[in-house]
Amino acid sequence: MRVSVVIPVFKAEGFLRDAVASALVLPEVAEVVLVEDGSPDGSLAVCEQLVKEDSRVLLHRHPGGVNKGAAASRNLGMRMAREEYIAFLDADDRFLRNRFEAERGIWKEHPDADGVYGATGVIYHDDEGRARFERQFASDLTTVRVAVRPEDLFAAYLGLNGMLDFGHFCLDALTLKRESLMRMPTLFREDGNLGEDTEFLLRLSAHLRLHPGSIAKAIAVRGVHEGNRVTNDAHQARSRKLMYAAMLEWAISDPAGKRGVKRIGEEHASFAVRSATSRKERWEAWRELFRYPGSLKRLDNWQAAIDMSFGRSRWVAAPLHALARSAFRLLWWFKGGAPAEVKASWAASKPA
Protein backbone atom coordinates (compact mmCIF):
# COMPACT_ATOMS: atom_id res chain seq x y z
CA MET A 1 0.00 0.00 0.00
CA ARG A 2 1.63 3.24 -1.21
CA VAL A 3 0.01 6.51 -0.24
CA SER A 4 0.37 10.10 -1.40
CA VAL A 5 -0.39 12.54 1.43
CA VAL A 6 -1.68 15.92 0.25
CA ILE A 7 -1.02 18.88 2.57
CA PRO A 8 -2.20 22.42 1.72
CA VAL A 9 0.10 24.94 3.42
CA PHE A 10 -0.95 28.43 4.48
CA LYS A 11 0.46 30.31 7.49
CA ALA A 12 1.66 27.07 9.07
CA GLU A 13 5.37 27.62 9.68
CA GLY A 14 5.02 26.68 13.35
CA PHE A 15 3.16 23.41 12.73
CA LEU A 16 4.18 22.06 9.32
CA ARG A 17 7.32 20.20 10.31
CA ASP A 18 5.45 18.07 12.88
CA ALA A 19 2.65 17.34 10.42
CA VAL A 20 5.05 16.14 7.74
CA ALA A 21 7.04 14.07 10.25
CA SER A 22 3.86 12.32 11.41
CA ALA A 23 3.25 11.21 7.82
CA LEU A 24 6.80 10.25 6.84
CA VAL A 25 7.20 7.95 9.84
CA LEU A 26 4.45 5.68 8.44
CA PRO A 27 5.68 2.90 6.11
CA GLU A 28 2.66 3.29 3.82
CA VAL A 29 3.51 6.90 2.96
CA ALA A 30 5.45 7.00 -0.29
CA GLU A 31 5.28 10.76 -0.82
CA VAL A 32 4.09 13.95 0.88
CA VAL A 33 2.74 16.53 -1.58
CA LEU A 34 3.00 20.04 -0.16
CA VAL A 35 1.04 22.81 -1.90
CA GLU A 36 2.26 26.16 -0.57
CA ASP A 37 -0.60 28.65 -0.91
CA GLY A 38 1.07 32.05 -0.93
CA SER A 39 1.66 32.25 2.82
CA PRO A 40 2.65 35.64 4.26
CA ASP A 41 4.82 33.98 6.93
CA GLY A 42 7.82 31.67 6.62
CA SER A 43 5.91 28.60 5.48
CA LEU A 44 7.56 28.52 2.06
CA ALA A 45 11.04 28.40 3.61
CA VAL A 46 9.97 25.49 5.83
CA CYS A 47 8.60 23.66 2.78
CA GLU A 48 11.83 24.16 0.87
CA GLN A 49 13.88 22.89 3.79
CA LEU A 50 11.69 19.78 4.13
CA VAL A 51 12.18 19.02 0.43
CA LYS A 52 15.95 19.15 0.92
CA GLU A 53 15.79 16.84 3.94
CA ASP A 54 13.68 14.03 2.43
CA SER A 55 13.24 13.03 -1.22
CA ARG A 56 9.69 11.87 -0.48
CA VAL A 57 8.59 15.46 0.11
CA LEU A 58 7.42 17.29 -3.02
CA LEU A 59 6.58 20.99 -3.24
CA HIS A 60 4.13 22.70 -5.58
CA ARG A 61 2.76 26.23 -5.76
CA HIS A 62 0.04 27.97 -7.70
CA PRO A 63 1.20 29.96 -10.77
CA GLY A 64 2.78 33.18 -9.59
CA GLY A 65 2.85 31.95 -6.00
CA VAL A 66 -0.61 33.39 -5.38
CA ASN A 67 -3.04 32.42 -2.63
CA LYS A 68 -6.02 30.43 -3.95
CA GLY A 69 -7.39 28.79 -0.81
CA ALA A 70 -7.40 25.30 0.68
CA ALA A 71 -9.79 23.83 -1.91
CA ALA A 72 -7.68 24.84 -4.90
CA SER A 73 -4.52 23.73 -3.09
CA ARG A 74 -5.94 20.28 -2.36
CA ASN A 75 -7.09 19.96 -5.98
CA LEU A 76 -3.61 20.78 -7.22
CA GLY A 77 -2.09 18.33 -4.76
CA MET A 78 -4.41 15.52 -5.84
CA ARG A 79 -3.59 16.08 -9.49
CA MET A 80 0.14 16.03 -8.76
CA ALA A 81 -0.04 12.91 -6.54
CA ARG A 82 1.53 9.82 -8.13
CA GLU A 83 0.62 6.89 -5.88
CA GLU A 84 -2.37 4.52 -5.94
CA TYR A 85 -3.90 5.91 -2.74
CA ILE A 86 -4.42 9.50 -1.57
CA ALA A 87 -4.78 10.73 2.00
CA PHE A 88 -5.21 14.26 3.29
CA LEU A 89 -3.59 16.12 6.15
CA ASP A 90 -3.88 19.75 7.19
CA ALA A 91 -0.61 21.50 7.94
CA ASP A 92 -1.45 21.96 11.64
CA ASP A 93 -2.73 18.37 12.12
CA ARG A 94 -0.97 15.03 12.60
CA PHE A 95 -1.38 11.38 11.68
CA LEU A 96 -1.21 8.76 14.43
CA ARG A 97 0.81 5.55 14.15
CA ASN A 98 -2.36 3.47 13.46
CA ARG A 99 -3.38 5.74 10.57
CA PHE A 100 -3.56 3.04 7.87
CA GLU A 101 -4.01 -0.13 9.94
CA ALA A 102 -7.71 -0.66 9.14
CA GLU A 103 -7.27 0.17 5.45
CA ARG A 104 -5.20 -2.88 4.62
CA GLY A 105 -7.89 -5.32 5.78
CA ILE A 106 -10.69 -3.40 4.10
CA TRP A 107 -8.97 -3.22 0.71
CA LYS A 108 -8.38 -6.97 0.95
CA GLU A 109 -11.92 -7.84 2.04
CA HIS A 110 -13.64 -5.34 -0.28
CA PRO A 111 -11.69 -4.98 -3.54
CA ASP A 112 -14.42 -2.70 -4.89
CA ALA A 113 -13.97 -0.18 -2.06
CA ASP A 114 -13.17 3.36 -3.22
CA GLY A 115 -12.21 4.69 0.19
CA VAL A 116 -11.98 4.16 3.93
CA TYR A 117 -12.78 6.65 6.69
CA GLY A 118 -12.11 6.72 10.42
CA ALA A 119 -12.14 8.88 13.54
CA THR A 120 -10.19 12.06 14.26
CA GLY A 121 -9.11 13.29 17.68
CA VAL A 122 -7.71 16.59 18.89
CA ILE A 123 -4.35 17.98 19.91
CA TYR A 124 -4.35 21.41 21.57
CA HIS A 125 -1.61 23.81 20.55
CA ASP A 126 -2.62 26.63 22.92
CA ASP A 127 -5.10 27.44 25.69
CA GLU A 128 -7.13 29.92 23.64
CA GLY A 129 -7.70 27.32 20.94
CA ARG A 130 -8.80 24.80 23.56
CA ALA A 131 -11.27 27.27 25.10
CA ARG A 132 -12.84 28.11 21.74
CA PHE A 133 -13.04 24.48 20.70
CA GLU A 134 -14.68 23.36 23.94
CA ARG A 135 -17.27 26.13 23.69
CA GLN A 136 -18.24 24.98 20.20
CA PHE A 137 -17.87 21.19 20.26
CA ALA A 138 -19.21 18.65 22.74
CA SER A 139 -16.59 15.95 22.05
CA ASP A 140 -12.95 15.83 21.03
CA LEU A 141 -13.58 12.78 18.80
CA THR A 142 -14.98 13.46 15.34
CA THR A 143 -16.51 10.29 13.94
CA VAL A 144 -19.72 8.53 12.91
CA ARG A 145 -21.89 6.88 15.57
CA VAL A 146 -22.38 3.55 13.82
CA ALA A 147 -20.85 1.65 10.91
CA VAL A 148 -23.05 1.69 7.82
CA ARG A 149 -22.77 0.06 4.41
CA PRO A 150 -21.28 2.27 1.68
CA GLU A 151 -24.63 2.41 -0.12
CA ASP A 152 -26.27 3.77 3.05
CA LEU A 153 -23.67 6.43 3.89
CA PHE A 154 -25.22 9.30 1.93
CA ALA A 155 -28.65 8.74 3.50
CA ALA A 156 -27.13 8.43 6.98
CA TYR A 157 -25.15 11.64 6.53
CA LEU A 158 -28.35 13.57 5.79
CA GLY A 159 -30.57 11.73 8.27
CA LEU A 160 -32.77 10.32 5.50
CA ASN A 161 -32.88 6.93 7.21
CA GLY A 162 -34.30 8.31 10.45
CA MET A 163 -30.97 8.13 12.31
CA LEU A 164 -30.43 11.16 14.54
CA ASP A 165 -26.97 12.66 14.93
CA PHE A 166 -25.14 10.16 12.74
CA GLY A 167 -21.99 12.23 13.02
CA HIS A 168 -19.35 12.78 10.35
CA PHE A 169 -15.70 12.20 9.57
CA CYS A 170 -12.84 14.53 8.65
CA LEU A 171 -10.53 14.63 5.66
CA ASP A 172 -7.58 13.74 7.90
CA ALA A 173 -9.15 10.30 8.46
CA LEU A 174 -10.05 9.55 4.83
CA THR A 175 -8.05 7.42 2.38
CA LEU A 176 -9.12 7.16 -1.26
CA LYS A 177 -8.08 5.26 -4.33
CA ARG A 178 -6.66 7.82 -6.70
CA GLU A 179 -8.39 6.19 -9.68
CA SER A 180 -11.78 6.44 -7.97
CA LEU A 181 -11.20 10.02 -6.91
CA MET A 182 -10.38 11.11 -10.43
CA ARG A 183 -13.73 9.73 -11.63
CA MET A 184 -15.52 12.38 -9.58
CA PRO A 185 -17.26 14.96 -11.81
CA THR A 186 -15.84 17.71 -9.58
CA LEU A 187 -13.13 17.65 -6.93
CA PHE A 188 -13.21 20.40 -4.30
CA ARG A 189 -15.35 23.39 -5.23
CA GLU A 190 -13.08 26.42 -5.40
CA ASP A 191 -15.80 29.07 -5.23
CA GLY A 192 -16.60 28.69 -1.52
CA ASN A 193 -14.93 29.37 1.78
CA LEU A 194 -15.60 27.48 5.02
CA GLY A 195 -17.31 24.15 4.55
CA GLU A 196 -15.80 23.13 1.22
CA ASP A 197 -14.51 19.90 2.78
CA THR A 198 -17.97 18.99 4.19
CA GLU A 199 -19.56 19.59 0.80
CA PHE A 200 -16.87 17.46 -0.86
CA LEU A 201 -17.37 14.58 1.60
CA LEU A 202 -21.14 14.60 1.01
CA ARG A 203 -20.61 14.25 -2.73
CA LEU A 204 -18.08 11.49 -2.18
CA SER A 205 -20.60 9.56 -0.07
CA ALA A 206 -23.09 9.69 -2.95
CA HIS A 207 -20.67 8.74 -5.74
CA LEU A 208 -18.13 6.38 -4.18
CA ARG A 209 -18.14 3.25 -2.03
CA LEU A 210 -16.69 4.45 1.27
CA HIS A 211 -16.20 1.88 4.04
CA PRO A 212 -15.90 2.55 7.80
CA GLY A 213 -12.49 1.77 9.23
CA SER A 214 -11.40 2.75 12.73
CA ILE A 215 -14.45 4.78 13.81
CA ALA A 216 -14.11 4.24 17.56
CA LYS A 217 -10.40 5.07 17.88
CA ALA A 218 -8.70 8.12 16.39
CA ILE A 219 -6.26 7.60 13.52
CA ALA A 220 -5.36 11.30 13.21
CA VAL A 221 -5.59 14.43 15.33
CA ARG A 222 -6.51 17.91 14.25
CA GLY A 223 -4.49 20.73 15.73
CA VAL A 224 -6.56 23.23 17.67
CA HIS A 225 -5.16 26.73 18.18
CA GLU A 226 -6.31 30.31 18.24
CA GLY A 227 -5.81 30.67 14.49
CA ASN A 228 -8.26 27.92 13.42
CA ARG A 229 -10.64 29.04 10.70
CA VAL A 230 -13.74 27.29 12.05
CA THR A 231 -13.56 28.49 15.65
CA ASN A 232 -12.68 32.02 14.46
CA ASP A 233 -15.66 32.30 12.11
CA ALA A 234 -17.78 35.18 13.43
CA HIS A 235 -20.53 34.50 10.89
CA GLN A 236 -21.10 30.77 11.23
CA ALA A 237 -24.78 30.86 10.24
CA ARG A 238 -23.92 32.69 7.01
CA SER A 239 -21.07 30.27 6.30
CA ARG A 240 -23.40 27.31 6.82
CA LYS A 241 -25.99 28.88 4.54
CA LEU A 242 -23.41 29.21 1.77
CA MET A 243 -22.24 25.63 2.33
CA TYR A 244 -25.78 24.25 2.08
CA ALA A 245 -26.43 26.43 -0.97
CA ALA A 246 -23.51 24.72 -2.70
CA MET A 247 -24.79 21.30 -1.60
CA LEU A 248 -28.29 22.14 -2.84
CA GLU A 249 -26.99 23.30 -6.23
CA TRP A 250 -25.17 19.98 -6.60
CA ALA A 251 -28.08 17.82 -5.37
CA ILE A 252 -30.53 19.44 -7.81
CA SER A 253 -28.22 19.00 -10.80
CA ASP A 254 -26.65 15.59 -10.08
CA PRO A 255 -28.79 12.40 -10.22
CA ALA A 256 -26.68 10.96 -7.39
CA GLY A 257 -27.90 13.73 -5.11
CA LYS A 258 -31.58 13.92 -6.06
CA ARG A 259 -32.84 12.06 -2.99
CA GLY A 260 -31.10 14.58 -0.75
CA VAL A 261 -32.63 17.75 -2.24
CA LYS A 262 -35.45 18.08 0.30
CA ARG A 263 -33.26 17.52 3.36
CA ILE A 264 -30.47 19.80 2.13
CA GLY A 265 -33.04 22.44 1.18
CA GLU A 266 -34.47 22.35 4.69
CA GLU A 267 -31.03 22.93 6.20
CA HIS A 268 -30.34 25.75 3.75
CA ALA A 269 -33.63 27.41 4.71
CA SER A 270 -32.80 27.03 8.41
CA PHE A 271 -29.49 28.86 8.09
CA ALA A 272 -30.94 31.41 5.67
CA VAL A 273 -33.29 32.44 8.49
CA ARG A 274 -30.50 32.59 11.05
CA SER A 275 -28.19 34.69 8.88
CA ALA A 276 -30.68 37.15 7.34
CA THR A 277 -30.02 40.79 8.17
CA SER A 278 -31.34 42.86 5.25
CA ARG A 279 -34.94 43.07 4.03
CA LYS A 280 -33.95 41.22 0.86
CA GLU A 281 -32.35 38.40 2.85
CA ARG A 282 -35.41 38.12 5.11
CA TRP A 283 -37.69 37.85 2.10
CA GLU A 284 -35.42 35.19 0.54
CA ALA A 285 -35.36 33.28 3.84
CA TRP A 286 -39.16 33.13 4.05
CA ARG A 287 -39.24 32.01 0.42
CA GLU A 288 -36.86 29.16 1.23
CA LEU A 289 -38.91 28.17 4.30
CA PHE A 290 -42.03 27.77 2.20
CA ARG A 291 -40.12 26.14 -0.65
CA TYR A 292 -39.00 23.48 1.81
CA PRO A 293 -41.90 23.40 4.33
CA GLY A 294 -40.36 20.48 6.19
CA SER A 295 -38.12 23.06 7.86
CA LEU A 296 -41.21 24.52 9.52
CA LYS A 297 -41.76 21.27 11.42
CA ARG A 298 -38.98 22.40 13.77
CA LEU A 299 -39.75 24.71 16.67
CA ASP A 300 -36.30 26.29 16.59
CA ASN A 301 -36.84 27.35 12.98
CA TRP A 302 -40.15 29.02 13.88
CA GLN A 303 -38.46 30.84 16.76
CA ALA A 304 -35.58 31.92 14.51
CA ALA A 305 -38.11 33.13 11.91
CA ILE A 306 -39.92 35.15 14.59
CA ASP A 307 -36.66 36.79 15.67
CA MET A 308 -35.75 37.46 12.04
CA SER A 309 -39.10 39.11 11.31
CA PHE A 310 -39.82 40.99 14.54
CA GLY A 311 -36.46 41.35 16.24
CA ARG A 312 -35.77 40.14 19.76
CA SER A 313 -38.03 42.64 21.53
CA ARG A 314 -39.57 40.90 24.53
CA TRP A 315 -42.82 42.79 23.89
CA VAL A 316 -43.25 41.30 20.42
CA ALA A 317 -41.02 38.24 20.02
CA ALA A 318 -41.55 36.76 23.50
CA PRO A 319 -45.36 36.28 23.16
CA LEU A 320 -44.89 34.83 19.68
CA HIS A 321 -42.24 32.43 21.00
CA ALA A 322 -44.64 31.33 23.73
CA LEU A 323 -47.41 30.85 21.16
CA ALA A 324 -45.11 28.73 18.98
CA ARG A 325 -44.06 26.58 21.96
CA SER A 326 -47.69 26.03 22.92
CA ALA A 327 -48.63 25.06 19.39
CA PHE A 328 -45.78 22.56 19.18
CA ARG A 329 -46.55 21.10 22.61
CA LEU A 330 -50.14 20.54 21.51
CA LEU A 331 -48.96 18.93 18.28
CA TRP A 332 -46.53 16.67 20.14
CA TRP A 333 -49.28 15.70 22.60
CA PHE A 334 -51.47 14.51 19.73
CA LYS A 335 -48.51 12.64 18.21
CA GLY A 336 -47.55 10.92 21.46
CA GLY A 337 -44.91 13.20 22.91
CA ALA A 338 -42.07 15.53 22.03
CA PRO A 339 -39.12 14.19 19.99
CA ALA A 340 -36.24 12.76 22.03
CA GLU A 341 -33.85 15.58 21.13
CA VAL A 342 -36.38 18.19 22.30
CA LYS A 343 -36.85 16.41 25.64
CA ALA A 344 -33.09 16.30 26.07
CA SER A 345 -32.86 20.04 25.34
CA TRP A 346 -35.54 20.78 27.92
CA ALA A 347 -33.78 18.65 30.53
CA ALA A 348 -30.45 20.38 29.90
CA SER A 349 -32.02 23.82 30.26
CA LYS A 350 -33.53 23.15 33.72
CA PRO A 351 -31.59 24.65 36.65
CA ALA A 352 -29.65 22.14 38.77
Question: Is 232 strand, coil or helix?
Answer: coil
Q: Which band of pLDDT confidence, cut at 50, 70 and 90, is reported for residue 237?
A: confident
CA distance linking residue 175 with residue 28, whole number of Å: 12
Which CATH number do you get for residue 137? 3.90.550.10
More confident residue, 333 or 208: 208
Q: What are phi and psi of 186, to 5 degrees?
A: -140, 140
Neighbours of 20 (CB within 10 A): 27
Please tell me whether residues 219 and 241 are part of one structural domain.
Answer: no
Q: What is the mean pLDDT of residues 39-59?
A: 97
Q: Are residues 129 and 53 in the same domain?
A: yes
Residues 133 and 111 in one domain: yes
3 state SS for 313-328? CCCCHHHHHHHHHHHH
Domain match, 33 and 176 both: yes
pLDDT digits (tens, 9 = 90+) for 99-114: 999 999 999 999 999 9
CA dist., res. 304 & res. 302, Å (int): 5
Complete edge-to-edge strand list for the sheet that includes strand 85-88: 57-61, 29-36, 3-9, 85-88, 174-177, 115-117, 210-212
Instruction: State the pairing for strand pair 218-224/119-124.
Output: parallel
Mean pLDDT of the chain: 89
Indicate the pTM of the whole model: 0.87
Number of domains making up the chain: 2
Domain residues for the domain of 246 are 236-337
Domain end point (choices 157, 189, 224):
224
Cβ burial 182-221 (10 Å sphere, 16+ → b, else e) = eebeebbbeebebbbbbbbbbbbbbbbbbbbbbbeebbbb
CA-to-CA distance for 62 and 296, rounded, in angstroms?
45
Secondary structure (DSSP) of 47-84: HHHHHHH-TTEEEEE-GGG----HHHHHHHHHHH--SS
Report pLDDT digits (tens) over 265-295: 999 999 999 999 899 999 999 999 999 998 8
**Which of 224, 253, 271 represents a domain boundary (last residue)?**
224
304 and 276 fall within a common domain? yes
Residue 346 domain-assigned (yes or no): no
- Answer yes or no: do 187 and 133 share one domain: yes
pLDDT in tens, 292-311: 998 888 888 888 888 888 87
> Is 250 found in the same domain as 219?
no
Q: DSSP character for 182?
A: T
350 lies in some domain: no
The pLDDT score that the predictor gives to residue 330 is 75
Check: CB of residue 275 under 8 Å from CB of residue 252.
Answer: no
**Contact of 16 with 51, CB cutoff 8 Å:** no
Residue 162, in any domain of the structure:
yes
| 77 and 149 share one domain | yes
Task: Output phi, psi for 39, to 5 deg.
Answer: -65, 140
Are residues 40 and 124 both part of a single domain?
yes
Q: Which of 14-23, 125-134, 151-160 has the highest mean pLDDT?
A: 14-23
Cα dihedral 198, 202, 203, 205 sign: positive
Q: How far apart are CA 5 and CA 119, in angstroms?
A: 17
Cα 249 to Cα 245: distance, rounded to the nearest angstrom: 6
Q: What is the DSSP letter of 140?
A: S
